[in-house]
């Protein structure tokens, strides 16, 4: 059992924007009722929303040893059907309003606006004893590729987050990220471990209803990806009256140094914590964090390894880098490194394929004090007329120069595309990048599109930009 809900029986566990609430004792009892309806050690799908019913299903299955695969409730039906056929779960936990879309399945239980459906699949894929959870790497797609997380992975990561964020039962985090996204889920996992109260809403930061709920319920923290913080700046967040706010966390990509500095200085001036973190689904969410007292001093850094974890850098020749300010691939070791991937039902019997070691695919450096800095993705580099160019750094430079610009760089060797959503700055962006890199402007092409494609977590979908390539 991952969570000991009865330890906090009378404490409020979940509150939503409609006034519905649930104690830890009620959560424990509901979990027992749901578990009675489901065969032990079977696979089930959850169509996730930021709603009490979604959380109830997730924790109930996990605590009972039932393996859930978390998917976005708005996933296209064709993609969902493909996943159902690929993995053939015994049950599916869905929002009540979607029940009509599954008329061929029997509803055997209803709870907190969610329905438990029994599927008609006869195939039963054996599950490895350590397998606890399946998550998509992006948080949104219908790809059959899942990350296999173990009970040890989830518990070790949640305990580590509790330790470095100093979480306790007085915390009241508000949901800002999808729970089927590893970052959003890590907030749920860690706060339920200490008896905190989760404030659950599906409203976005741009909506007045979100901030009304935030203030009424006296939220103490929220998490966000870079896109979240870009939006907050546009919303004039620094002028908001939020007396209950204690902590802001950021992960899911690197902030521009300018934006990092703004939020770090705001946190320092208002006696709050701004914690930049680093992670991947393959590490059950978190691998690194920047202590809040270092947020200004080490601006741009993602910090140090989380408690219980270790970092090192590997050079292109395979040797371990021991000198600061040298670039290599970041490798992480810890109990939260996941078991491996699954791409079909037969993979669910596989055990630990990583043995606690994860090659992140991120290129990084460390400074003299041992703080790490992500400089780009291993695959996000291009050769432009013989020069190696970091696409992630290009994106950061553009956003730093052009206020409120939404942009993305991509391409192939010797041909870089600069995607922007504002036609008035397109040629200026191209000239700026050519100047900063010192490369021939002929290597760059500015392309104006309506919006930069992003997933639910606000991460740019670079693959979708390839349709604009002309070379």
Instruction: Collect all residues with Cβ–Cβ distance below 8 Å to 463 and sequence separation of at least 6.
Output: none
CB count within 10 Å of CB 117 equals 21
Q: What is the pLDDT, as a whole number, of residue 310? A: 98
C-alpha span between 251 and 409 (Å, rounded): 20
| Contacts with 3 (C-beta within 8 Å, 6 or more apart), sequence order | 59, 63, 192, 193
pTM for the whole thing? 0.86
Say how far apart CA 119 and CA 163 lie, in whole Å: 40
> What is the residue-averaged pLDDT of the chain?
93
Average pLDDT over residues 224-235: 91
Q: What is the mean pLDDT of residues 120-142?
A: 86
- With bands split at pLDDT 50, 70 and 90, how would you rate the model's confidence at 115? very high
pLDDT exceeds 60 at position 140:
no
* Residue spans per domain, the chain: 379-468
pLDDT tens-digit profile of 43-96? 999 999 999 999 999 999 999 999 999 999 999 899 999 999 999 999 999 999
Percent of the chain residues past pLDDT 70, beyond the cut: 99
Report, as an integer, the average pLDDT of 276-299: 96
Task: Identify the pLDDT of residue 463.
Answer: 86
For residue range 251-277, list pLDDT tens digits in order: 988 888 899 999 999 999 999 999 999
- Cα 139 to chain centroid distance, Å, stands at 7
Superfamily grouping for domain 379-468? ANL, C-terminal domain (3.30.300.30)
Q: Summarize pLDDT for 440-463 with one digit per residue, the tens.
A: 888 899 999 999 998 877 788 888
What's the rounded mean pLDDT across residues 29-41?
Answer: 93
Residue 154, pLDDT > 90, answer yes
pLDDT above 90 coverage of the chain, percent: 80
Rounded CA separation 119/107 (Å): 9
| pLDDT band (50, 70, 90) for residue 210 | very high
Residue 443 has a pLDDT of 86
- Residues, the chain, total? 471
Instruction: Return the beta strands (E) in 337-466 as ranges.
Output: 340-342, 357-366, 372-377, 381-384, 387-390, 407-412, 415-420, 444-448
């Amino acid at each position: 059992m991952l969570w000991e809900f009865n330890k906090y029986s009378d404490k409020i566990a979940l509150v939503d924007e409609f006034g519905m609430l649930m104690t830890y004792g009620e959560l424990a009892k509901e979990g027992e009722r749901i578990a009675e309806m489901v065969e032990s050690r079977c696979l089930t799908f959850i169509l996730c929303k930021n709603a009490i019913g979604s959380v109830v299903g997730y924790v109930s299955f996990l605590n009972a040893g039932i393996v859930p695969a978390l998917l976005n409730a708005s996933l296209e039906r064709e993609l969902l059907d493909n996943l159902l056929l690929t993995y053939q779960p015994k049950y599916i936990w869905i929002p009540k309003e979607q029940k009509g879309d599954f008329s061929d399945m029997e509803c055997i239980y209803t709870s907190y606006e969610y329905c438990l459906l029994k599927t008609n699949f006869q195939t039963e894929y054996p599950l490895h004893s350590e397998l606890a959870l399946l998550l998509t790497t992006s948080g949104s797609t219908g790809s059959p590729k899942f990350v296999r997380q173990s009970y040890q992975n989830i518990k070790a990561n949640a305990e580590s987050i509790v330790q470095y964020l100093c979480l306790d039962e007085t915390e009241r985090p508000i949901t800002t990220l999808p729970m089927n996204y590893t970052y959003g889920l890590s907030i749920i996992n860690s706060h339920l471990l200490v008896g905190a109260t989760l404030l659950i809403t599906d409203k976005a930061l741009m909506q007045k209803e979100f901030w009304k709920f935030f203030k009424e319920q006296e939220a103490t923290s929220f998490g966000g990806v870079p896109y979240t913080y870009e939006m907050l700046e546009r919303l004039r967040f620094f002028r908001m009256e939020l007396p209950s706010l204690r902590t802001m966390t950021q992960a899911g990509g690197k902030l521009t140094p300018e934006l990092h500095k703004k939020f770090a200085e705001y946190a320092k001036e208002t006696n709050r914590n701004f914690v930049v973190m680093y992670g991947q689904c393959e590490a059950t969410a978190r691998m690194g964090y920047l202590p809040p007292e270092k947020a200004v001093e080490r601006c741009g850094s993602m910090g140090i390894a989380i408690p219980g974890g270790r970092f090192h850098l590997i050079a292109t020749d395979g040797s371990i880098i021991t000198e600061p300010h040298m670039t290599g691939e970041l490798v992480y070791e810890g109990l939260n490194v996941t078991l491996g991937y699954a791409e079909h039902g037969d993979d669910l019997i596989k055990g630990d394929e990583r043995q606690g070691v994860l090659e992140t695919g991120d290129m990084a450096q460390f400074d003299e004090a041992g703080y790490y800095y992500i400089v780009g993705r291993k695959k996000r580099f291009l050769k432009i007329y013989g020069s190696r160019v970091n696409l992630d750094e290009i994106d950061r430079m553009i956003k730093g120069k052009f206020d409120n610009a939404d942009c993305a760089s991509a391409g192939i060797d010797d041909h870089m595309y600069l995607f922007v959503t504002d036609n008035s700055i397109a040629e200026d962006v191209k000239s700026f990048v050519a100047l900063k890199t010192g490369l021939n402007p002929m290597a760059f092409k500015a392309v104006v599109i309506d919006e930069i494609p992003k997933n639910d977590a606000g991460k740019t979908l670079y693959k979708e930009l390839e349709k604009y390539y002309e070379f």
